[in-house]
């Protein structure tokens, strides 16, 4: 039985692209003096001993970013972007990640071994330093983890003629590993990006730039007395065990092959349980990309792996791989503009890639990848290493590394309220994801459009929707708070102040009510609403025509409408979590202030240029629109969009102060009297709400609230209240809410 021609026998409908991927990226933290950071691993990242995504590698400043298993390269790169974002913004703001595989100038004394809790892991690193030197360990790269899809593997097994699935899978992965080592030089040529070592790193480094120091004999290689054969799995396992037994390796994981068989702690287990996946370890960091690798590379490597499976199996494996290793070293140490040597059989790779594309009808995207590879194979100037040549200055890349590192650092800190790669999700959910990754919780997005995520630590699982809807709230509580009539009745019966008013299910009934409120200040709003939608406020009475317009707007949002008395005073949003008020926000209704030059429309356009303003709750402040409600509000003040306001004159564009309708946010948590905070918390507890937004109208905050004289009126309770507006405010210090949610959900991590 052989897997040599197995892929060629496969039907073109086989799920050939089905696979799982993982990326591990190493990078050094650099301080404000552009030297290796001497600070400890960031405290905000929790315990690195269990952190699933952000750990330390050899040294204390060498951070390692690890993606979860992903079902596409695009998904893997996306989550790597998020993890990188979290890591970058969890470090001291003066530090940045070094974008190159080779470190800046560094001494052995500057390299502090990672202060890990596990004594074995610490001593293991001490041993590596003694065996190879600390400087070697300061190199950084990317590991590309790959597993063939379960359905694909099963389909191939069924046509293979193998009787045993484990044996089949081992032969399948071993074939890929053998062919990978035989053609590893191909990736070194394309993606080698470590052309030089900084002064003092090596004693006898080459005098001209090379393609990849890291993938040459100067890089991650074991001592010459360590020989491990890939000819067959039994020999591979035995050779590794012998190397450990004789002290040539301190552990099996010290085997620095460009590829590793993965899935078990001990290699002997593969004989009985099978190889689970492969780890390709030969990728230098791409310093032109903030993640160290790009989408094109990930997809090209996937196609390359499939072509390795398409090719014939090697014969006389040890001889071929010895020759291939020599060729790889030759290419790694050649000048980046030097053409491939004649020994490099590039045509076999290109043909195999083309045949895979054609046989499985992979389409134009993969055809374009192949075309790009062909051009680079013929023109070395298109390779990654060649692109670095123009950035070498006085035999150094330090200036380039600093510039790129700081550019990527600035990018990480741009729009700090968002999670890179997930900007299309609702902002509070982005913030929860950021904090969850930072704390070391495992995350999975169950439904991106519905903002539904899964968080877990060990066996403890929590489901979260829209940032703060969790199992902590009973099902009926959000339903009750969504219904303004129910909310008012519950609060009123408990003795809390609420506005008087009436409910209408038809516009005709509501219009007949006009005679009772014609001269009164009123609020017209949908019975069930959120984000201030459909609300109209008349502080000095209104006309029948304007009242009808307000009813039209409200009935457009719900089949039932409330007409309530307008309560004078200032509206504040209190955020209550688990019986405790955590934040208080003053929200100013959407407005513009005149300058004597610009029209109201122009003032709105100017205000909307604020980078904190965006749409659909993806930014802390919302874009101001001049819609029906705003135009009605302007009309009541005697203005139109073309009115030029005098300097300092304010035009209100909304009666309601919701941030979601263009309002301004001011954090007043620290100055709000505790009596009002307790009142809001008591209201939330009365509703049975774990998370609640309490909207209070307070005429005078200097008057202390008591049970007998609450000095305020509750106009609304909100389930699933926005959290981002409390953190990223128009004015004030801001309050961190999302992390408190997670600490309540996972107290074992605090």
In a domain, 75, yes or no: no
**Would you state the pLDDT for residue 501?**
85
- Residue 95 CB neighbours (<10 A): 18
Whether the Cβ atoms of residue 587 and residue 665 lie closer than 8 Å to each other: yes
Q: Count Cα atoms within 13 angstroms, Cβ side, for 341.
A: 13
**Would you state the pLDDT for residue 207?**
79
Read off the pLDDT of residues 84-95 as tens digits, 9 standing for 90 and up. 999 999 999 999
Q: Does residue 1 surpass a pLDDT of 70?
A: no
Read off the pLDDT of residues 589-599 as tens digits, 9 standing for 90 and up. 999 999 999 99
pLDDT bin (cut points 50, 70, 90) of residue 529 is: low
| Residue 348 shares a structural domain with residue 396 | yes
| Residue 454 shares a structural domain with residue 394 | no
Q: Does residue 528 surpass a pLDDT of 80?
A: no
| Residue 296 shares a structural domain with residue 333 | yes
In a domain, 323, yes or no: yes
**CATH number for the domain including 711?**
3.30.470.20
Residue 588 bridge partners (DSSP): 664
**Would you state the pLDDT for residue 619?**
86
How far is residue 65 from each of residues 121, 125, 208, 739, measured CA to CA in Å?
18, 18, 32, 21
| Residue 493 shares a structural domain with residue 443 | yes
In a domain, 78, yes or no: no
**Would you state the pLDDT for residue 220?**
84
**Would you state the pLDDT for residue 655?**
82
Read off the pLDDT of residues 708-729 as tens digits, 9 standing for 90 and up. 899 999 988 999 998 999 999 9
Whether the Cβ atoms of residue 527 and residue 483 lie closer than 8 Å to each other: yes
**Would you state the pLDDT for residue 672?**
97
| Residue 504 shares a structural domain with residue 573 | no
**CATH number for the domain including 534?**
3.30.1490.20
Average of per-residue pLDDT across 540-565: 91
In a domain, 257, yes or no: yes
Alpha-carbon dihedral of residues 378, 379, 382, 383, nearest 10 degrees? 70
In a domain, 638, yes or no: no
**Would you state the pLDDT for residue 500?**
85
In a domain, 219, yes or no: yes
**Would you state the pLDDT for residue 268?**
96
Which residue stretches of 246-363 are H helix? 270-273, 295-310, 317-332, 346-359
**CATH number for the domain including 309?**
3.30.590.20
Read off the pLDDT of residues 164-191 as tens digits, 9 standing for 90 and up. 999 999 999 999 999 999 999 999 999 9
| Residue 253 shares a structural domain with residue 288 | yes
Structural domain ending residue among the three candidates 413, 444, 459: 413
| Residue 461 shares a structural domain with residue 358 | no
Which residue stretches of 104-204 are H helix? 119-132, 134-137, 150-158, 165-182, 184-191
Average of per-residue pLDDT across 434-461: 97
- In angstroms, the CA 339 to CA 386 distance is 11
In a domain, 59, yes or no: no
Q: Which residues contact 480 (CB under 8 A, 6 or more apart)?
A: 486, 487, 490, 687
pLDDT bin (cut points 50, 70, 90) of residue 452 is: very high
Q: Does residue 80 surpass a pLDDT of 70?
A: yes
pLDDT > 70 fraction of the chain, expressed in percent and rounded:
99
Q: Count Cα atoms within 13 angstroms, Cβ side, for 312.
A: 5
| Residue 544 shares a structural domain with residue 484 | no
Whether the Cβ atoms of residue 727 and residue 740 lie closer than 8 Å to each other: no
**Would you state the pLDDT for residue 211?**
97
| Residue 319 shares a structural domain with residue 373 | yes
pLDDT bin (cut points 50, 70, 90) of residue 483 is: confident
Q: What is the pTM of this model?
A: 0.90
Structural domain ending residue among the three candidates 396, 413, 430: 413
| Residue 323 shares a structural domain with residue 344 | yes
Read off the pLDDT of residues 330-385 as tens digits, 9 standing for 90 and up. 999 999 999 999 999 999 999 999 999 999 999 999 999 999 999 999 999 999 99
Give me the domain span that covers residue 561.
500-565
Q: Does residue 471 surpass a pLDDT of 70?
A: yes
Number of structural domains the chain divides into:
3
Structural domain ending residue among the three candidates 413, 436, 471: 413
pLDDT bin (cut points 50, 70, 90) of residue 530 is: low
In a domain, 51, yes or no: no
Average of per-residue pLDDT across 108-129: 94
Average pLDDT, the chain: 94
pLDDT bin (cut points 50, 70, 90) of residue 63 is: very high
| Residue 456 shares a structural domain with residue 404 | no
Instruction: Report the b/e string of 597-606 with b at 16+ CB within 10 A.
Output: eebbeebbee
| Residue 315 shares a structural domain with residue 434 | no
Give me 268's structure tokens.
Answer: 């002997």
Q: Which residues contact 17 (CB under 8 A, 6 or more apart)?
A: 149, 302, 360, 362
């Amino acid at each position: 039985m052989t897997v040599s021609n197995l892929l060629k026998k496969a039907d073109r409908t086989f799920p050939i692209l089905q696979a799982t991927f993982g990326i591990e990226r190493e990078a050094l933290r650099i301080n404000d003096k552009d030297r290796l950071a001497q600070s400890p691993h960031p405290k905000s990242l929790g315990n690195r001993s269990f952190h699933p995504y952000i750990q330390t590698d050899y040294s204390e400043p060498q951070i390692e970013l690890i993606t979860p298993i992903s079902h596409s390269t695009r998904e893997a790169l996306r989550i790597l972007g998020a993890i990188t974002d979290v890591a970058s913004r969890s470090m001291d703001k003066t530090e940045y990640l070094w974008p190159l595989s080779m470190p800046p100038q560094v001494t052995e004394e500057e390299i502090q071994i990672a202060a890990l809790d596990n004594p074995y892991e610490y001593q293991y690193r001490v041993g590596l330093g003694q065996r190879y030197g600390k400087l070697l360990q300061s190199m950084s790269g990317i590991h590309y983890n790959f597993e063939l899809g379960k359905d694909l593997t099963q389909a191939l097994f069924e046509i293979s003629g193998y009787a045993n699935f484990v044996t089949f899978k081992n032969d399948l992965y071993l074939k890929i590993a053998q062919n990978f080592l035989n053609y590893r030089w191909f990736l070194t040529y394309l993606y080698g990006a470590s052309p030089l070592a900084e002064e003092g790193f090596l004693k006898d480094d080459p005098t001209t730039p090379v393609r990849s120091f890291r993938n040459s004999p100067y890089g991650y290689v074991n001592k010459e007395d360590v020989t491990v054969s890939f000819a067959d799995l039994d020999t591979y396992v035995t050779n590794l065990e012998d190397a450990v037994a004789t002290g040539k390796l301190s552990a099996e994981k010290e085997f620095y092959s460009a590829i590793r068989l993965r899935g078990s702690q001990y290699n002997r287990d593969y004989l009985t349980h099978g190889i689970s996946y492969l780890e390709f370890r030969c990728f230098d960091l791409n310093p032109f990309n903030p993640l160290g690798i790009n989408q094109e590379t990930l997809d090209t490597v996937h196609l390359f792996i499939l072509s390795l499976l398409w090719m014939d199996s090697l014969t006389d494996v040890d001889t071929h791989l010895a020759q291939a290793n020599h060729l790889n070293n030759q290419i790694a140490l050649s000048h980046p503009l030097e053409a491939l040597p004649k020994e490099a059989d590039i045509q076999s790779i290109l043909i195999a890639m083309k045949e895979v594309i054609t046989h499985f009808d992979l389409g134009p995207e993969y055809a374009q990848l192949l075309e790009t590879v062909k051009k680079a194979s013929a023109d070395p100037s298109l390779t990654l290493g060649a692109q670095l040549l123009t950035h070498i200055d006085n035999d150094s890349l330090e200036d380039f590394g600093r510039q790129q590192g700081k550019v990527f650092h600035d990018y990480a800190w741009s729009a700090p309220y968002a999670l890179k790669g997930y900007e299309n999700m609702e902002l509070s959910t982005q913030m929860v994801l950021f904090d969850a990754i930072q704390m070391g919780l495992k995350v999975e997005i169950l439904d991106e459009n519905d903002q539904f995520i899964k968080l877990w630590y060990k066996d403890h699982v929590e489901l979260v929707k829209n940032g703060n809807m969790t199992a902590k709230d009973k099902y009926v509580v959000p339903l009750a708070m969504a219904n303004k009539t129910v909310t008012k009745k519950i609060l009123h019966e408990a003795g809390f102040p609420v506005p008087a008013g009436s409910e209408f299910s038809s516009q005709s009934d509501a219009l007949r009510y006009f005679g009772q409120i014609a001269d009164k200040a009123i609020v017209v709003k949908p019975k069930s609403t959120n984000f201030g939608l459909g609300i109209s406020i008349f502080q000095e009475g209104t006309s029948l025509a304007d009242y009808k317009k307000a009813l039209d707007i409200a009935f457009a949002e719900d089949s039932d409408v409330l007409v309530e008395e307008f309560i004078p005073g200032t509206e504040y949003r209190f955020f209550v979590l688990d019986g405790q008020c955590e934040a208080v926000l003053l929200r100013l209704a959407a407005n513009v202030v005149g300058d004597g030059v610009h029209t109201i429309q122009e003032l709105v356009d100017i205000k909307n240029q604020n980078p904190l303003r965006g749409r659909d709750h993806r930014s802390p402040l919302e874009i101001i629109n001049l819609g029906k409600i705003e135009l009605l509000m302007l009309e009541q003040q005697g203005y139109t969009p073309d009115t030029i306001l005098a300097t300092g004159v304010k035009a209100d564009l909304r009666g309601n102060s919701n941030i979601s309708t263009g309002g301004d946010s001011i954090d007043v948590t620290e100055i709000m009297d505790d009596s009002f905070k307790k009142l809001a918390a008591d209201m939330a507890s009365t509703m049975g709400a774990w998370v609640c937004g309490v909207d209070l109208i307070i005429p005078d905050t200097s008057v202390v609230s008591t049970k007998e004289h609450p000095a305020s009126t509750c106009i609304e309770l909100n389930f699933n209240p926005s959290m981002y507006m409390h953190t990223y405010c128009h004015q004030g210090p801001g309050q961190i809410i999302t992390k408190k949610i997670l600490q309540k959900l996972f107290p074992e991590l605090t």
